[in-house]
Amino acid sequence: VTASITKTQIPSSNLMSNNSSGTNNQGGAAVGKIPRARQTQMLNPSKIDPVGINDIEENMEVTPHMNGGSVGGTVTRGDANQMGPPASRRRSNVVKEVEKLKKNREERRLRQAEIKNEKENMMNMDPGNPNWEFLSMIREYRHNLEFSPLRDTDPVEDHQITVCVRKRPMNKKETTRKEVDVITVPNKNQISVHEPKQKVDLTKYLENQHFRFDYAFDESCTNEIVYKYTARHLVQTVFDGGMATCFAYGQTGSGKTHTMGGDFNGKTQDCQKGIYAMTAKDVFRFIKSPPYRTMNLSISCSFFEIYSGKVFDLLAQKAKLRVLEDGKQQVQVVGLTERAVDSVEDVLKLIQLGNAARTSGQTSANSNSSRSHAVFQIILRQGPGRLHGKFSLIDLAGNERGADTSSADRQTRMEGAEINKSLLALKECIRALGRKGAHLPFRASKLTQVLRDSFIGEKSKTCMIAMISPGLSSCEHSLNTLRYADRVKELAAHDPMEVKMSTVAEDDVENMESESDLAQLRSLNEGEMSGDMLTFHEAISKLQEAEEDMVEYHKLVMDSNNRWLQQDKYLLDRTNQVEYDQEAYTIQLDELIMEKISMLTELRLKVGKFRNMLTEEETVSKKMTNNIYTK
């Protein structure tokens, strides 16, 4: 039989059926021959190789010899259709499956090749970057955006509470580490954070989070532009007899000190280009203008820092100061230096003097890391000392240090606790500024205590500049900063507590003031302060109070020692006389001894109380740390 096999493969059983039918073609000649082993494979259905079938060429002619006879026959597609449908269908199903597998394999290889080429192209865009996949996704996201950044010609909006965000450029360390910029500023009041994520199957993706504020400054904005839309309009508030505050908030190394104080060159700071200096220039420009020239206003400045709950005068060699509340509930920083200034140059000298004395420490994020809140105040007085207005510019400590409350070092724990507590209290005080009748939890921290007058009155205004770092390694801290700033602003305009707080009776407000401001902070920040954290903050507050009480009494004992020394000399000199009143001597000496015993006993009690507070703080800290690790 001579057979011509097409793409549709013919089962060997059909060939046998054709042979038995007696169809002969004596004139047929064998065009091509296949070895008998190959014939057996082709004619036996159980030995058909699906891959081998695909290798058989079209129209190949085969001449098998059966029973020694030569029977010629050509099998065509039409003949195959007449040879029994069941076997044909079985053969065609096999072929279809083989072709389907082959097609899928080719498509899969094509996709893999495309993915490989795409990866190579993306890697060539930034060779050696370990985060090139995230970088590519962020670039694609930005490619589809329509950017409309803040322009110098955009109008300045006047709010009682202004919250804005500034993104700094990538620094040398981040560039060297090939970090990815995960912050996008698409327009003048929106920030987008591209948070890198990874699925269980190791697939990488981005979680894009968006925040809206009054202003959003990208990395191209200068200090002058930031000042124009933040602190500049607050100068008018001060000259109108109000209290103004401007806060720089964010992670260590995000640009707070740069924004407030000016550009850094190593550890040297150019104070001419900071918000401090620009505010001073406008203050002196205002005071010389016609509306205020005849008001007999004078300008003075003070500069102090708050470190671990203690206040230090930066203009008096970091002298420690006491914060007291007088009978009129006015908070006074006792002994704070206030220096008169006559020019912008005088102000800059004070800023340089204070910055040089400020408590700082080197961290992995910043070699000029400030661990304290720095408060620079420009004060307007009218006539003989009457306060007319005050502008407080605050460079807050790095907000990431608030997480150091579980440190093994007590000083670090107290430092972190004070920063954490002061930031929560500050947020609530700013919120209360937009709610008439709301209770100010100013006693919850030393920072809000000394700034209490800045949050009271209709003429008070505040501005917060949240600083964020663009690098991928700072993504978590940047998100925390943005969430904090967002909570400050979202309640400024629409607060569900506003109606409730404004209708509180005066007696109720007084009762609230008698309660712990820390407890109120926790009730207002349930998601941010746990019960353990509240207990820890209370222990720290008690420890600080006991320390201050002990130190002040120790100073009193030291002052009394000088007086006691004089009295001792006087009594001893009397005994050198030939005749002296022995009874009077013993009475006076006994009184002196009793006074010493009384004061020293009181001092010893205060020392004992302080030691107990130290033990309590240690116990609470360990308990809180254990609870964190067991959750």
The one-letter amino acid code at 617 reads: E
- Gyration radius of the chain's alpha carbons: 42
Distance CA 133, CA 114 (A): 16
8 Å CB contact between 244 and 454: yes
Is there a binding annotation on residue 251? yes
Q: Where are the beta strands (DSSP E) in 188-275?
A: 190-198, 204-212, 215-217, 243-250, 263-265, 268-270
Q: Which two tokens stand for residue 285?
A: 């420009």
Query: What is the 3 state secondary structure string of 490-542?
Result: HHHHCCCHHHHHHCCCHHHHHHHHHCCHHHHHHHHCCCCCCHHHHHHHHHHHH
The one-letter amino acid code at 85 reads: P
Q: Which two tokens stand for residue 103?
A: 């097609």
**Contact partners, residue 441, CB within 8 Å, separation at least 6:** 425, 428, 429, 432, 448, 517, 518, 520, 521, 524
Q: Where are the beta strands (DSSP E) in 409-469?
A: 461-468
On the 0-12 / 13-18 / 19+ scale of CB atoms within 10 A, 507 is: exposed
8 Å CB contact between 450 and 375: yes
CA end-to-end span of the chain: 83
8 Å CB contact between 170 and 472: no
Neighbours of 85 (CB within 10 A): 9
Is there a binding annotation on residue 362? no
Strands 386-395 and 339-340: unpaired
Strands 319-325 and 331-334: antiparallel
Is there a binding annotation on residue 73? no
Tokens 């609870």 — which residue? 627
8 Å CB contact between 396 and 423: yes
8 Å CB contact between 599 and 556: yes
Distance CA 24, CA 101 (A): 39
Is there a binding annotation on residue 52? no
Residue 391: name the closest of 232, 243, 236, 226 by CA: 243
Q: Which helix (H) or strand (E) holds 95?
A: helix 85-125
Is there a binding annotation on residue 153? no
Is there a binding annotation on residue 257? yes
Distance CA 219, CA 184 (A): 10
Distance CA 225, CA 53 (A): 76
Tokens 């962020």 — which residue? 138
Neighbours of 211 (CB within 10 A): 20
Is there a binding annotation on residue 22? no
Tokens 């550009």 — which residue? 263
What are the residues facing 212 on neighbouring strands? 190
Q: Which two tokens stand for residue 202?
A: 């190791």
Distance CA 423, CA 377 (A): 19
Q: Which helix (H) or strand (E) holds 376?
A: strand 373-382
Binding residues: 250-257
Annotation: binding site for ATP: 250-257
